[in-house]
Chains A and B, each alone.
Chain A
Amino acid sequence: MAHTTLVPGRYAAPTAGLALALVALLGVLFLLQENGLLLSADAASYLHEVTHDARHALGVPCH
């Protein structure tokens, strides 16, 4: 296997890429599903109201 050779670029790119993809998906989860898990109740309900229409339109369960 060519990939077993330790070339920094070869390893860094997939790891960084997958980490970034995960962060992007978690960002979506935060915007559309955050209902008080990470934020305080006030902040969460503000985020809920701000993203409200998008949550409904994108088909995410909402209140």
Chain B
Amino acid sequence: MSAPTLGRTVGDGALAGAVAGGLGAAAMYWLVEPSIRAAIAIEEAGAAHEHGSGTAHEHGSEALVSRPEQVVAGLVTVLVVGVLIGIAFALTHRFLASRLPGRTPAASTMVLAGLGFLTFTVAPAMVVPANPPAVGDPATVDLRTATYLGTIVCAVALAALVTGVARAGSLTPGTRAVAAAVLGVVGAAVLVAVLPHAADPVPANVPADLIWRFRVASLAQIGLMWLALGATCAWLGQPRTTVPTRAAHLVGA
């Protein structure tokens, strides 16, 4: 099997990322935006009653960017982020496929998407969970950002270690399965214990129900994006027939 050209890999990644980003934007519009809207209403009600420290940013009509613009621009941002992540994803798969579990390119693509979801989404979500507007102290944003990025780096390193142990040729299959599982569980527990507890407390005027709905919707959106990215990349990367042939076959079926 000859490797596809670099341009082909990038193109496939960008296309898969656009599919993921498009679905992610749709999920954001229908699942996440209602919680953001509710949270902004709470934020503005709070700002009207309090003295207004000036650090909170504006969401009203006099704001830098109006709310409708903010919603549309947010959807476009998700699409652009999807394309960029798709390109990085396809390139990562191109160079790491032989070191990933999975007998076919499609299988290793889905494994990589799963690892991406775990390391780039679930891991930081456990340490610094997503919050809607109205939660979040601007004074702690630097610590939270550093913790967020550090968690991703640590999670990627742990995932690489676990994957390496799971495929170590010097161990018997039984031993490496146990070793990889133990390493994964212990490593994750150590990371959760060691990483700074940087999450902000939720203010009393924000209902727990809103936080829950926002976080579930956010995770659903990002999970959908990883799933769509992996599935589209796997489909595009299939050998044998060319994509136009398969598309014609699907249309004809």
Interface residues of A (CB under 8 A from B): 13-14, 16-18, 20-22, 24-25, 27-28, 31-33, 35, 45-46, 48-63
CB < 8 Å: which of B63, B64, B95, B149 contacts A18? Answer: B95
Ordered by A's residue number, 25 sampled pairs between the chains whose C-beta atoms are within 8 Å are: A17-B9, A20-B87, A21-B92, A22-B88, A25-B88, A28-B85, A31-B77, A31-B84, A35-B141, A48-B57, A50-B70, A52-B65, A52-B70, A52-B74, A53-B32, A53-B71, A53-B75, A54-B73, A54-B74, A56-B36, A57-B218, A59-B125, A60-B145, A61-B144, A63-B56
Q: How far is the CB of A15 from chain B (nearest CB, A)?
A: 10
A44→B155 CA distance, assembly (Å): 29
B136 touches A61 (CB 8 A): yes
Could you say which interface size class chain B belongs to?
Answer: 35 or more
Which residue of A is nearest B143, CB measured? A61
Q: Which of A24, A45, A60, A63 contacts B84 (CB 8 A)?
A: A24
Q: How far is the CB of A61 from chain B (nearest CB, A)?
A: 4
Q: Beyond A53-B32, A56-B133: 9 further Cβ-contacts under 8 Å?
A: A21-B92, A22-B88, A24-B87, A31-B80, A35-B145, A46-B65, A50-B73, A53-B71, A62-B133
Interchain CB contact under 8 A, A63 and B138: yes
Contacts of B91 in A (CB 8 A): 17-18, 20-21, 24
Q: Does B221 contact A (CB under 8 A)?
A: yes
Within the assembled complex, what's the spacing in Å between the Cα atoms of A14 and B33?
40
A30 to B65, CA, bound (A): 19
Interface residues of B (CB under 8 A from A): 6, 9-10, 28, 32-33, 36, 56-57, 63-65, 69-71, 73-75, 77-78, 80-81, 84-85, 87-88, 91-92, 94-95, 121, 124-125, 128-133, 136, 138, 141, 144-145, 148-149, 214, 217-219, 221-222
Bound CA span A10–B94, Å: 13
The B interface, classified by DSSP as helix, strand, loop or mixed, is helix
Q: In whole angstroms, how far apart are the Cα atoms of A62 and B128 in the complex?
A: 11
Q: Are B136 and A49 in contact (CB under 8 A)?
A: no
Contacts of B33 in A (CB 8 A): 53, 57
The residue in B69, B75, B78 that gathers the most chain A C-beta atoms within 10 A of its C-beta is B78
Contact between chains at B81 and A54 (CB < 8 Å): yes
Task: Give the residues in chain B near A20, CB-CB below 8 Å.
Answer: 10, 87, 91
Closest-CB distance, A16 to chain B (whole angstroms): 6
For A16, A22, A45, A51, the residue with the greatest tally of chain B CB atoms inside 10 Å of its CB is: A51
Identity of the chain A residue whose Cβ is nearest the Cβ of B200 in the assembled complex: A61
Query: Could you tell me the distance in whole angstroms from the C-beta of A25 to the nearest C-beta in chain B?
Result: 5
